[in-house]
Amino acid sequence: MLPADARLDFDFKGGVTDKRLFPWDVWRRCVNQALRTQQRAGGGVAAYRDPGGEQELRLGVSRYLAFSRAVVCNWQDVVVTQGAQQALDLVGRVVIQPGDVVAVEEPGYPPARALFAALGAKLAHVPVDREGLIVDRLPKHARLVYVTPSHQFPLGMPMSLARRVELLEWAKRHGAVIVEDDYDGEFRFEGRPVESLKSLDRAGLVAYVGTFSKTLFPDLRMGYVVPPESLREPLWTAKRAGDWHSCMLTQTALGTFMLNGEFAKHLRRMHKAYAKRRAALIGLLTDELGDAFEPMPATAGIHLVAQLAPGWDEDDVMKAALDASIGVYGIGPFYAGERREQGVLIGYGGASVEAIEGGFRRLATLMPGLRR
Ligand SMILES: Cc1ncc(COP(=O)(O)O)c(C=O)c1O
């Protein structure tokens, strides 16, 4: 097996985006402008800023959410965070007491689980099916329910509208808070968009969490949360207590990038590129690798999960692929309990169409020999 940090000929890691297609010159201008703003701010006296974030960025986010997710909010409702992870942390801190039950999806997103556990929560791993979280299986006393409705992590299916409505009704009956992690729903390739939980929420139960880690890149560490009204003040206070506020320079540059229309332009460009990669990948998985893999139905996102047919083992495939300098990653680690599916997660955020063709053609030559 290769060491974990070795460079592979073809790597299909999840959580990776493509910096080669990012408009660096435009970004440089936004950063330069932000530097001038930072220099002038406070009339020569440097001071702390609003814990909720810079107005330009919050305005950019609120307009974007209204337009693309039907999430209607004022800019003051947006709290800028250090990625989605800090948004989850802030919501967890203000909602959960040690010993409270937090329901998470099974399989699910390990960093969210680790975070809620670190805050002292008791985790309830609630299974998902082809419609998303099985609401009937939620434990009665869950104080918080964490879900990824646009693109279930890791399996990929969107939560059906019926389940969304059911979840909202359940939360209302049980006095629970829902965290809607909309981490990569921007890239939707098929079907009609399903309303976000936040846009369906009439009872003030949903904290909507977004991130720039998939639309731009994860090392920017920029995200946000739109909490329900009742959590607005506590979240603002928690953000101030945690790190006072996020970096002014990055926020201001990103605000300009959004308000000037560059973010929307970039999303359109990336959508086109990712759509081609996804089509190439699904084509290869269904044709040349069709005996071994079946892509799980996902309408959005920049990764997909391909289920393995009976006769192949996830760990065997992963190991053989790695030995052939191809990175595909088993879904086993996303299960807290016994895994119900065998499959691999394939990220196409950082892989060109050529890399997808090269990598999966090479993998196709290995698969017959791996059949047990
Ligand atoms: C389910 C999920 N939520 C959120 C994120 C992004 O987290 P952050 O914004 O902290 O980078 C990811 C990234 O892989 C993810 O898979």
Domains and CATH numbers, the chain: 10-17+264-370 (3.90.1150.10), 24-260 (3.40.640.10)
Average pLDDT over residues 93-120: 98
- Whether residue 224 contacts residue 75, with contact meaning beta carbons closer than 8 Å, is answered with no
Q: Which band of pLDDT confidence, cut at 50, 70 and 90, is reported for residue 38?
A: very high
Q: Which of 210, 93, 57 is nearest to 49 (CA)?
A: 57
Nearest ligand 1 atom, CA 15: 14
User: How remote is the C-alpha of 15 from its chain's centroid?
Assistant: 8
Q: What phi and psi values does residue 260 have, to the nearest 5 degrees? A: -80, 0
What DSSP line would sit under 25-36, residue for residue?
A: HHHHHHHHHHHH
339 pLDDT band, cuts 50/70/90, is confident
The pLDDT of 79-106, averaged and rounded, is 98
Question: What span, in angstroms and rounded, lies between the C-alpha atoms of 84 and 180?
Answer: 11
Kindly state the tokens that stand for 139.
């434990």
Pocket test for ligand 1, best of 211, 217, 348 (most atoms within 8 A of CB): 211
Which residues in 117-273 belong to E strands, given as ranges? 122-129, 132-133, 142-147, 177-181, 206-211, 223-226
CA of 109 to the centre of ligand 1 (A): 8
- Give mean pLDDT, residues 313-326: 96
Is the confidence at residue 298, as pLDDT, over 90? no
Find the residues whose C-beta lies inside 6 A of ligand 1: 15, 83-85, 109, 148, 153, 181, 183, 211, 213, 218, 223
Q: pLDDT tens digits for 123-174?
A: 999 999 999 999 999 999 999 999 999 999 999 999 999 999 999 999 999 9
